[in-house]
Homo-oligomer: A and B are copies of this chain.
Amino acid sequence: MSSIFGKVFQVSTFGESHGKALGVIIDGCPANIPLCHGLIQKQVNRRRPGQSGITSPRNEPDKIICLSGEENYRTLGSPLTFMVMNKDQKPEEYKKNNHIFRNSHADFTTYQKYGIMASSGGGRSSAREAVARTIAGSVAHQMLSHFLPAIRILAFVSRVGPIVAATNELVADEQLQPDQIDAHPTRCPDQAVQTAMLEYIEELMTRGDTIGGEITCVIRGLPPGLGEPVFDKLNSDLAKAMMSIPAARYFHQGNGYESTYHQGSENNDPLSVETNTGNIIYTTNKAGGIEGGISTGAPIFFQVGFKPPSSIQHQQSSVTKQGIPSTYSLKGRYDPCVLPRAAPIVESMACLVLADHYLRQKIQSWIPFKESRS
C-alpha cells in the first residue's frame, strides 16, 4: 500500500536505509525495449553520496544488479527487477541516537504510525530509498526514448537559499545539455551564480548547517494528449510525484507562481498556426506545457522546492521514545544541501509519470501521436 507507483507502468520499491539491499520491480514495461545498464548506472551514480565535496561521504558503490525481466539487453515484457546492496551502512552510528526522535525527521511519525521503527537510521523515509527511484526512472526514460526519440528530460538547480539562477532563460534554452548541469557540483548550469552557490554551501558546512532551494525540470519532445482530464491530470500526477521526494515542500507548474498574481489578459497563452509546419501551437507557454491536465506539445516545465535538510550538526533538544526530554547532536556524514543530488531524482520521478501516461494514452489514442515540437 505504500510503495507502489503508477497505474500501468507500475513500480514497486523496497529496502531500508541500513538494511541488506534496496531495489525495485518495474511491472508493465512493454517487451522488446532496448535497455542499457550503463545508462541506469549513470543515473544512479548521479544520486550517489560521496560524489562531491558538498554531499554526504557515505561510501556506497550502488552497483546495480539485474534479477529479472530482460535478456540480451532487451525487455521481455515480464517484471524487471533491479537492486543495489548496502555496503557502508554503519547502523551502529545511528543506533547511538536511535532512542531519540530527531527533530523534523520521520522518526516520530513513523513510530506513531507503525509502533515500531528500523533500529538504525531512517528506514523507508531515508533519502537512500530514492536509489530505487533513479533505477526505475532510467528504465522509464529509456522506454520513452524508444517510442519518442525526441524526448529530453532535464532537471537542474535553479536556486540555493537566496541565490537564484536565470531560470526563465535556462527553461527557454533548447540547447541546454545534461553535461552543462553535471559540470558543476551544484548542478546549477548558470555560470553566473554557480560559484556563489557553491561557496554559500561550503560556508554552511563549516557551521554544520544546511540550506533549502529549488529545482527546475524541463521536458521537451512530448506529444500533445498525455494526461487525463479530471483527477489524473498530468500536472497533478507530477505534483504528487515531486512532493513524494523527501524534503520537497512546493510544486509550481510552468510560470504558475507568477500567474497567480496576474490578470487573465496578461496570462492567457494564445494559439496560432506555425508558419513552416502548419501545426497548431501555443505562441507562449506560461502554462508550462499542460492545459486541462493534458500535455499541449509545448515544453513542460515546473519547479520543486526543497527544505533545508533536518540533519544539522548543532545540538538540538528533542524527546526520547520514552517521552523524556533530551538533547542530541548528529556528528557523522551529512548533506548540507540536497539539491544537487535531488536533481536526478526529480528527473526520475518525471520519467515515471510520463511513462505511465504515455502507455495510458496508447489505450486511448485515436491517431498515431504526431511529432512534437520543442
Contact = CB atoms under 8 A, between A and B. Distances in A.
Contacts of A76: 16, 114, 116-118, 123
B68 A22 contact: yes
Given A237-B240, A305-B256, A161 B364 contact: no
A277 to B, nearest CB: 11
A254 B307 CA distance: 11
Contacts of A118: 71, 76, 78
A25 B1 contact: no
Given A27-B4, A76-B16, A272-B317, A291 B104 contact: yes
A359 interface: yes
Given A3-B230, A109-B227, 18 more contacts: A4-B27, A14-B68, A31-B116, A76-B117, A79-B124, A101-B280, A104-B268, A105-B291, A108-B291, A109-B290, A113-B229, A123-B229, A232-B244, A238-B243, A263-B308, A287-B307, A359-B363, A363-B363
Interface of A: 1-5, 7-8, 10, 12-16, 19-23, 25, 27-28, 30-32, 66-69, 71-72, 74, 76-81, 83, 101, 103-106, 108-110, 112-119, 123-125, 129, 159, 161-162, 204, 209-214, 224-233, 235-244, 246, 248-254, 256-257, 259-273, 278, 280, 287, 290-297, 305-312, 314, 316-319, 323-325, 359-364, 366-367
